Copies of this chain bind each other. A is one copy, B any other.
């Protein structure tokens, strides 16, 4: 059986290279792979396109990644929030490109990529600025926007437990985008709080089957929002 466990943070994240498109899990602080992000920061990676829901919280996670100059473009749903002050600073200074995507559409575009589909029609954003330049299709008399797949070179996600094959379960609302992103990248790297033996995860309750996981790194439990060594 292939050993997917990375023995060091460096080994876990060295697949993330300059210019990559990186999907990063989380909604608010829960489910953000803060330690993996620290690893990318440590590697001084540049020009990343980051796809994630929020524009960072305080100074850890995605906020740190932007703060350290690793990011050139952010694709997200909700950038303007008090806790995303680092994003605001960089955006206002013209140092960051921004693409806003409706949240359901963001999730669905990644799933579409992961499921090998070519696009989907959604009623979301019809008639709005966020549908500009996109094809509109009428189905049964109703307008839909054609949205295209969004694939990552790498997905960095966070899970609660991994078994030794790489099957994953998540914790409460920290599940969010993580299982979707696991499907939607060429390489999926997971930070897990805990590693367990294969028989310890019931096959009925596995959320992400091992086939979507390339590498996992065991971080232990830490307080959400405090992963960054900078805090």
Contacts and interface: CB of A to CB of B under 8 A. Distances in A.
A116 B105 CA distance: 12
A196 to B, nearest CB: 15
Contacts of A108: 115, 117
Interface residue range, chain A:
20 to 34
Interface in A102-158: 108, 112, 115-123, 137, 139-140, 142, 144, 148-149
Given A139-B148, A148-B139, A204-B169, A118 B121 contact: yes
A1 interface: no
A93 interface: no
Given A205-B204, A205-B205, A120 B123 contact: no
Number of copies: 2
Given A148-B139, A205-B204, A119 B117 contact: no
Contacts of A169: 204
A118 B112 contact: no
A116 B47 CA distance: 36
A157 to B, nearest CB: 17
Contacts of A119: 120-121, 137, 139, 144
Interface string A177-213: 0000000000000000000000000101100000000
Nearest to A149: B139
Contacts of A170: 204
B118 A139 contact: yes
Contacts of A140: 118
A165 to B, nearest CB: 18
Nearest to A135: B137
A130 to B, nearest CB: 16
Given A139-B149, A202-B205, 12 more contacts: A116-B122, A117-B120, A118-B120, A118-B122, A118-B123, A118-B137, A118-B139, A118-B144, A119-B121, A120-B121, A204-B205, A205-B205
Q: Which 4 A-B pairs have the closest CB atoms?
A: A118-B121, A118-B144, A118-B139, A205-B205
